[in-house]
Structure 1
Amino acid sequence: MPSSTAQAQYLLRQPNLPLASSWSPIDADELVEIPLLGRVSAGMPIEACLDAGSIEVPTRMVRRNTYALRVHGNSMIDCNIFDGDVIIIERRESAENGETAVVMINDQEVTLKKFYIEKSGVRLQPANEEMAPIYLRNSDIQVLGLVMGVVRQPDLAA
């Protein structure tokens, strides 16, 4: 069942800018339905749990392998991603340093963090100075996708 778009704000990521300042509001002229596959933690990783739903987003936000996840938590607030937002994800298997990615840990838990490759492995960095980074071995993580957009629905905030 598509969600209401009456008060939704659509933010599209602009390339080559820091994520905190790269969001550009776009109009909802032409909407298309994409899968809303569940939720992702912006905080401590949570168990991966698929949910079958959908959300309508502007066609400009959709690429080949696009899906959406609802954000639960406050670890990405300095990147302008808040609890209750729906993030638009482009399915990818890798991420560059500094990209905001949905990452699966040990084939069980999923989290949303900034991704950094380091000598000893991978650092998953929150965009909230009150939260600590998560350090893991490369073999412990799998990148599921990169954040390309945000749908903010104030009336549905978690």
Structure 2
Amino acid sequence: MLTAKQHELIQFIQRRLEETGISPSFEEMKDALDLKSKSGVHRLISALEERGFIRRLPNRARALEVIKQPEDATPVSAANSADNSNVISLAAAKAARAPEPANDVIDVPLHGRIAAGAPIEAIEGQNSLPVPAALLGPGEHYALEVSGDSMIEAGIFDGDFALVKRTDTARDGEIVVALVNNEEATLKYLRREDGQVVLDPANQAYDAQIYRPGEVEVQGKLAGLLRRYH
């Protein structure tokens, strides 16, 4: 069961695809649905994707495909399509025109700093970080500024911004935001061994951090990085 806004968005995307062969930009979707920010569009798209109504085409910043329509959606009339000789089929349009590069940007909450070294407190803040939509997949995301050098062999440097998908579960080998003893957060590889939780650095100068399961809470998985060059 879709919400009214989700239903309105999928209909708008489908109409735009049928008319042009190119999915609308986040700005166009925001305006069409009368939303205040593009982050609202991102949440709607993520919800539709998780429910199997749409999918993002890989390696394309602005490319959505409608997989199925809501049951109460009105299909495009085949007769109307046949009468309009100027209408190009969706498949032909996709073949003829590659999706245009997107400059869509989403404001992601910036929740302070996180350690890539010894654990430090992840400070909750009210700031936000503009992030290209192409870097984010489905789900809810937030950003943390990296402090320290314990993950440099994974390409994560002091001053980088870690883009984190909010989740409380992760597999061994994934880079996670781990809250230690309910007060300190750190960015590390997750590993479980002999009934304990091991947080592994990516720098030979640092030792692994070993905790009991109840001492560590996964708060997200690394989804991407932003780096500012001065």
TM-score (norm 1): 0.78
* Structure 1 outlier segments of 4+, above 4 Å: none
Matches within 5 A, 1:58-77: 58-62=132-136, 63-77=138-152
The correspondence for 2:198, drawn from 87, 111, 123, is 123
User: Comparing both chains, which one has the higher relative contact order based on Cα–Cα distances under 8 Å and sequence gaps of 6 or more?
Assistant: 1
SS at match of 2:125: strand
CA separation in 2, counterparts of 1:81 and 1:54?
20
Name the CA distance, whole Å, in 1 between partners of 2:194 and 2:102.
43
Alignment of 1:21-40 (within 5 A): 29-40=103-114
SS at match of 1:130: coil
Listed as ranges, the gaps of 5+ residues in structure 1 are 1-23
**What secondary structure sits across from 2:126 in the alignment?**
strand
Calculate percent identity across the aligned residue pairs: 37
* Offset of residue 77 of structure 1: 0.4
Q: 2:180 matched to which residue of 1?
A: 105
1:28, distance to aligned residue in structure 2 (A): 6.8
Listed one character per residue, the Cα deviations across residues 102-124 of structure 1 (whole Å, up to 9, x for unaligned) are 00001000000000011131110
Between Structure 1 and Structure 2, the one with more strand by share is: 1
Instruction: Quote the RMSD (CA, aligned, Å).
Output: 1.7
Partner of 2:156: 81
Partner SS, residue 107 of structure 1: coil
Which structure has the greater CA radius of gyration? Answer: 2
Partner residue, 2:127: 53
Structure 2: runs of 5+ lacking an equivalent = 1-58, 62-100
Amino acid paired to 2:183: Q
Q: How many residues align?
A: 131
Counterpart-to-counterpart distance in 2, 1:78 and 1:50: 27
Shift in Å, 1:60: 2.0
In the alignment, is the contact (CA less than 8 A) between 1:92 and 1:145 conserved in 2?
A: yes
Quote the Cα distance in structure 2 between the aligned partners of 1:93 and 1:149. Answer: 18
**Is the CA contact (8 Å cut-off) linking 1:28 and 1:57 kept in structure 2?**
no
Matches within 5 A, 1:88-99: 88-99=163-174
DSSP 3-state at the match of 1:81: coil
Q: Is 2:201–2:207's contact at 8 Å kept on the other side of the alignment?
A: yes
- 1: CA distance between counterparts of 2:229 and 2:174? 26
The 8 Å contact of residues 93 and 142 in structure 1, kept in 2 or not, is answered as yes
Counterpart CA distance in 2 for 1:109 and 1:28 is 37
Name the structure 1 match of 2:208.
133
> In the alignment, is the contact (CA less than 8 A) between 2:111 and 2:122 conserved in 1?
no
2:173/2:189 contact within 8 Å kept:
yes
Q: Distance in 1 between matches of 2:196 and 2:139?
A: 30
**In structure 1, C-alpha distance between the alignment counterparts of 2:115 and 2:192, rounded to whole Å:** 21
TM-score by length of 2: 0.54
